[in-house]
Structure 1
C-alpha cells in the first residue's frame, strides 16, 4: 500500500494510523507495530497493525517506552527483537514513538527509512486535513509530499539540495526554485533547479539572497504579491520589479525554532499559481525536510569546516541575545568560582571528640554476698567518703556471734584444764582461742567493707544497682564506676586525610552535641602514632586540653565536634581539595 492509498482510505485519524502501521508491518516484515504518545505516566495509543498487542510486550520494553528517550532503543526479549523508535512529528507537544517487533533487528538505515515514512505519512495526513476544503490543494499535497522521502534517501547536503529544487520545480511547475543557506549570518545560494554550479557574485544572486534574508529575519513566508502574515516585502518587490514583475515568494527552513535557510520560488508575471493554499502546502513539506537538510549540512565539508561551524555555533549561543537569564546565571557562577579561588579563609580540620578524664575507679564487691541498699544513681555527683552501697551483713553478724561463743567456750575449757593440771589440753584450747580470734578479725574486716564509699569527688557513670536489691554478688564483680570531673580532656578521632595538617599547640574549639550553641577553647597536645582501623576508615587519636573553665554539666563520655584552626586557604581549595586528591589517586597523576 503506497502513501496515496493510505491517505485515501478514510478521514478518521485512528483508521489512518492503523493503515499506516499495517503497511509498515507488511513492508518491513514486522510481527507487531504500535504508535503511541507518552505524556508523563499516561500513554495514548494512536493505532496498531493487525495482531499487535502492547500488553504482550516484555516488561523491559514497556519500561523503555516510559523513559522518553530521544534515541532509538533496541531490545532482545524472548528471541524477538523489539524496537522503540522516536518520531519527529511537527506540532506534537509530547514524544510520539513507534514500537515494533520482528525476528531480527532493523539496520540503522532501515530504521531511519521506517521513521521517515511514518513521519511523511503523518505530515501528509495533517496537510490533507488542513486543506480538505480545497480539492485542488489536496491533490498538490499528495504529489509534493513524496519529496520528503526523496530527501531522506540523500546521503549528502549538495545532493539533497539539488533534489529539493528539482522536485519542487517539477511539482509546482515554477519558473525557478532556489535554495539559500545562512552562512555567517547572511544567505548564500547553494542550489537551483537549473543545475550546475551556483554563483553568488552576480547581481541577480545578491538580490535573491537579500529576498531570502527578508523572509529569514521575519521568520515567516514573504512574497510579491504580498502574502498574509508578512509585514515587510521590500526586497521581494525590488526583485520582482528588476526581473520583469515576476512573482516570487520565499519560505524559511527551520529546525528547533532557528532559521537555517530559505527556499525562493519564482513564477512568471501572468501566473496564477501563487496562492495561500500552495504556500501552506509547501510550508508543511519544508517543515518536514528542514531537519534532514540541517543534519546533512552539519555533516558536510572537511573536518576543519565542520569543527569551525561547531565552534561558531557554540559561541553564537553563548554570546547571542537568547537565554539571557541562563547566561547571566552561568556568568555569576563563573565569577563566583573565580572569587572563591582567590578569597582566603581559615581552614579548619573537623573531627568528632569524646570527653575523657584522667582518674576513674571501679568499685568492686569485696566478698560474695547480697546487695542491701543503694544510695545513689548513675549520673549523681558524689563527695569523697559518701556512702554509695551497703551489702547485707546479717550472715556476717551471725558468724561473728557464733565465733565469739566458740571462743568463750574454748576459754572456759582452757581454764578448767589449767585447774586440773592438764597442760596439753590447755594448750589445745588456747590454740582454738587464737583461731577464733583470727576468724573474728576476718569477720570484722568484712563487716567494715559492707559499706562501699566514694574514694574521691566525682560522678557515677556506671552501675544502676537499684534494680538488683537483694541480688547476689561475686568477689571482684564491678558494682559501680566513678570518675573525676576535674582534669577533663578531649580525645579527637581525626581522619587520616587530615592528620598531616595538625601540629602541636594548635588552637581550636569544641561544641557538645547536647549544647551546640556553646563553644569552648582547646589546645592540641599530641596524637597517638598508631592508627585505629575501623569499618568507616582509619582514624588517629589526638588529645586536646580544655583551656576554658569546665562547666558543671560536663560529664566524661560526652561527645561533640572539634574544629582546629590550621591556616589560611582559598574557599575553592577548602571545598575541592579532597575531590582533587581522590582524582589523583584514581587517575594516578
Structure 2
C-alpha cells in the first residue's frame, strides 16, 4: 500500500497516518485513527453548518478538494428520475451541458449502477468493476486517479462524490476508506438539508406520493386495512340518513300560573307556606295582622250607633233636613265598616287552586311591613305544564308549530317525554353572547312527578336528512356567512 502521507500533503490539509487496520467495511468509524475520525467529524459539521442546501454542497466539495489534495471534487444528487451534478469544487457556477459535466455524470452513474465505490486505477487486490466511464474521464481530462463514492441515506443512494487527482497522486485503500467514512456521514446530512430546502409544494407532493406508495405498494397490511375501514365508514357517512333534530335547553313552566298578592298594606303575621310546597285549593299560605282592622271596625260600629241615635231623634223632632244629612253619614260609615270587614276577611292569603308554590318565602319576614299589591307567592298547577325551549337563532328556521319532539329532564333522565311544538315567540333574548328564541311545547301525555322550573334537554324532530349534512351544516353555514361578510 502506498504511503498516504506522501500522497495527501496539501496546503492547509492535516497530515493523516495510515490506519493500523484495514477493514472490509469502509464505514467503520471506530477503526479509524483519532486524527482521521476528527477529519470525518469536521467534514460532517461543515455539511451541516450552512443554512441552505447549495451552501452546504459548495462547502463540502471545496473542503474535500483541499483536504484530499484533489484537482476537482464533484457532487451529484440523485433524484427519482436522474442524477444531476450539484456542485464543483472552486466553482460557483457551471454549465450542465458541457462535455466535462456529461463525463462526470456518466462516472457517477457508473458508481450508482454498481452501488459501490469505483476506483481507477485500482490497487492490487481491488475487486473487478466496470470502469468505462471513469477511464473515459481520465483519458479526456488528464486525471491520474478518479474515485466515485456513493452517498447513502435511509437505505438508498442519494448522491455521488467524484474525486479527481492529477500528476502521480493516486488513491490508496486508506484514502478510500477515509472518504467512504466521510461519505457515510455526509450523505444523510446533505439529504436532510435538501429535504428541508425544498419548496412547500414539492414537500407536499413528495409526502403524498410516499403515502400513496405505502398504500398501493407491497406490505403495510395494517395501513391498508385501516384505510379500507375508513373508506367504508366514509361511504356510510355520505350515504346514510337519520333524523335531523334541533337540540335546545328546556325548562318547565306551569301552564296557568297565579300570584297571591298583599290585599292591603299591613304586616306579616304568619307564613306557613314556602316555595316548593304542594298546597290544596284554599289552603292558607300566609296571614296578615288584623289588630288595626279590628280597632277600625269597632270605631266604625260606634260611629254608626251614634249616628243612628241622632237620626232617630231628628225624625222624632220632625227635622227632615237633619235626618237626611244623618242618613247620608250613616251610609258613609256603613261603607267604611264594610271595607274593614272585607279587609278582615282577606287577612288570610290562600292558594287559588291546588298546585305547587313556585316562589315566595315569608318565614324570615314575620312582622315585616308589606305594600298593597306586592306579590307574595306564585302558585302553579301540578297537572298542566308547558315546555319552554331556548332555540338558537341558527336553528329557529327549521322549527315549525306542530312538530314533535322528546324531552329528558335532569331530575328524570330515565324517562323520555314526548311533546309537540305549540307556539314560537318572534322575540329573541340574548344569553352568553348568543340569541335564542322562546319556543313553547305541550306534553302529549300527562307525566307524573313533574315540578315547575325543572330543566333538561329537548330535541325537536325536523325530518330525515343525510348524516353528512347533519354533522356539517353548522360549520358550512358559518363559513357561508363569513364568506358573505368578507367578500366585496
Q: CA deviation at 1:291?
A: 4.6
Specify the alignment match of 1:472 in structure 2: 369
CA RMSD of aligned residues (A): 4.9
Q: CA deviation at 1:586?
A: 1.8
Corresponding residue to 1:576 among 457, 472, 476 = 472
Corresponding residue to 2:158 among 237, 260, 273 = 260
Q: 1:190 to 1:277 in 2, by over 3 A?
A: closer
Q: 1:277 to 1:412 in 2, by over 3 A?
A: same
Specify the alignment match of 1:461 in structure 2: 358
Specify the alignment match of 2:21 in structure 1: none
Specify the alignment match of 1:514 in structure 2: 411
Q: 1:182 to 1:439 in 2, by over 3 A?
A: same
Counterparts of 2:50 and 2:266, CA distance in 1: 103
Deviations 1:424-479 (A, max 9, x none): 66666555544443332222222112222222222211221112211222222222
Specify the alignment match of 1:95 in structure 2: none
Specify the alignment match of 1:342 in structure 2: 239
Counterparts of 1:493 and 1:575, CA distance in 2: 21
Specify the alignment match of 2:102 in structure 1: 198
Alignment map for 1:311-390 (pairs within 5 Å)? 311=205, 314-320=208-214, 333=230, 335-390=232-287
Which region of structure 1 is more displaced relative to structure 2, 427-436 or 379-388?
Answer: 427-436
Corresponding residue to 1:208 among 103, 106, 111 = 111
Counterparts of 2:203 and 2:38, CA distance in 1: 40
Q: 1:199 to 1:433 in 2, by over 3 A?
A: same
Q: Does 1:237 find its partner at 2:117?
A: no
Specify the alignment match of 1:557 in structure 2: 453
Q: 1:339 to 1:238 in 2, by over 3 A?
A: farther
Q: Secondary structure at the match of 1:467?
A: coil
Q: CA deviation at 1:394?
A: 1.6
Q: Secondary structure at the match of 1:468?
A: coil
Alignment map for 1:18-167 (pairs within 5 Å)? 134-135=34-35, 137=36
Q: CA deviation at 1:481?
A: 1.8
Contact 1:531/1:541 (CA < 8 Å) preserved in 2?
yes
Contact 1:413/1:429 (CA < 8 Å) preserved in 2?
yes
Alignment map for 1:286-297 (pairs within 5 Å)? 289=190, 291-292=192-193
Counterparts of 1:150 and 1:444, CA distance in 2: 105
Counterparts of 2:263 and 2:147, CA distance in 1: 116
Q: CA deviation at 1:510?
A: 0.9
* Residue segments in structure 2 that go unaligned for 5+ positions in a row: 1-10, 15-28, 90-97, 136-144
Corresponding residue to 1:566 among 453, 462, 470 = 462
Corresponding residue to 2:181 among 273, 280, 293 = 280
Q: TM-score, normalising length from structure 1?
A: 0.59
Q: Secondary structure at the match of 1:480?
A: strand
Q: Secondary structure at the match of 1:367?
A: coil
Q: CA deviation at 1:293?
A: 6.0
Q: Does 1:392 find its partner at 2:286?
A: no
Specify the alignment match of 1:537 in structure 2: 434
Contact 1:345/1:570 (CA < 8 Å) preserved in 2?
yes
Contact 2:83/2:105 (CA < 8 Å) preserved in 1?
no
Counterparts of 1:182 and 1:140, CA distance in 2: 25
Q: Secondary structure at the match of 2:285?
A: strand
Q: CA deviation at 1:196?
A: 0.5
Q: Does 1:183 find its partner at 2:79?
A: yes
Q: CA deviation at 1:507?
A: 1.5
Contact 1:181/1:188 (CA < 8 Å) preserved in 2?
yes
Q: Secondary structure at the match of 2:435?
A: strand
Q: CA deviation at 1:508?
A: 0.8
Q: Secondary structure at the match of 2:451?
A: coil
Q: CA deviation at 1:511?
A: 1.4
Q: TM-score, normalising length from structure 2?
A: 0.70
Counterparts of 1:537 and 1:512, CA distance in 2: 23
Q: 1:322 to 1:374 in 2, by over 3 A?
A: farther
Q: 1:252 to 1:448 in 2, by over 3 A?
A: same
Contact 1:187/1:210 (CA < 8 Å) preserved in 2?
no
Q: CA deviation at 1:134?
A: 4.6
The higher-RCO structure (CA 8 Å, 6+ apart) is: 2
* Structure exhibiting the larger radius of gyration computed from Cα positions: 2
The alignment of Structure 1 onto Structure 2 pairs a total of residues equal to 431
Q: 1:430 to 1:153 in 2, by over 3 A?
A: closer
Contact 1:318/1:327 (CA < 8 Å) preserved in 2?
no
Q: CA deviation at 1:362?
A: 1.9
Corresponding residue to 2:172 among 264, 271, 276 = 271
Contact 2:108/2:162 (CA < 8 Å) preserved in 1?
no
Alignment map for 1:2-21 (pairs within 5 Å)? none
Q: CA deviation at 1:132?
A: 10
Contact 2:389/2:438 (CA < 8 Å) preserved in 1?
yes
